[in-house]
Amino acid sequence: MCSLRWLSVLLGALALAASERPVRADASPTPEPALRQAPLLTLSPGRVQLTFRLEAALARRFDGEVLGSARISARAASLYPVGAAASRCYAARIAPGPMRAGRRYTVRLFLSATDQTPLELVVPLRRARRGDAHGARLGC
């Protein structure tokens, strides 16, 4: 009986502490990330990589992972930063499967955790050149 009383006191204290967080009155909406230039879809042995550059950096999760994802030819991929931190370049990789260089594939970019309408593009798949893994052609 005593442990139930302490549990209820603890839960009440946690609820009170959670409700007393300060609300920022000057919170302005963050700008929507926009593509700076056309994305690059490259084919290397064993992988297809989508690389793109944005006007603004993407938000991050509590553990540092990028909040966002991509769908390349209907296959999901996580985003990760490439190049210098100030370059705002990101990439996503998938296994190539039946994809071939020279064809165009649909790419959907979800640029936030709550993005319901992705940025949808049709991008040609090209063979990878030196530096493409680091976004050299995009200036990353």
Determine the Cα–Cα distance for residues 4 and 108; give it in Å rounded to an integer. 50
For residue 25, what pLDDT is reported?
A: 45
Q: Which residue has the higher pLDDT, 123 or 9?
A: 123
Determine what percent of the chain is predicted with pLDDT higher than 70: 76
For residue 86, what pLDDT is reported?
A: 76
Cβ of 2: how many Cβ atoms within 10 Å? Answer: 6
Q: What is the dotted CATH code of the domain comprising 40-138? A: 2.60.40
Determine the Cα–Cα distance for residues 79 and 70; give it in Å rounded to an integer. 7
Pairing of strands 119-127, 40-44: parallel
Q: What are the residue boundaries of the structural domains of the chain, listed by start?
A: 40-138
- The shares of helix, strand and coil residues in the chain, as percent rounded to the nearest 5, are 20, 35, 45
Nearest to 138 by CA among 101, 87, 79, 104: 87
Report DSSP state, residue 67: S
Instruction: Give the pLDDT band (50/70/90) at residue 83.
Output: confident
Nearest to 83 by CA among 48, 126, 40, 20: 40
Position 35 pLDDT exceeds 70: yes
Whether the full predicted model's pTM is greater than 0.85, yes or no, is no
Could you read off the pLDDT of 53-66 as tens digits, one per residue? 999 889 888 888 89
Could you read off the pLDDT of 2-20 as tens digits, one per residue? 566 665 666 666 665 655 5
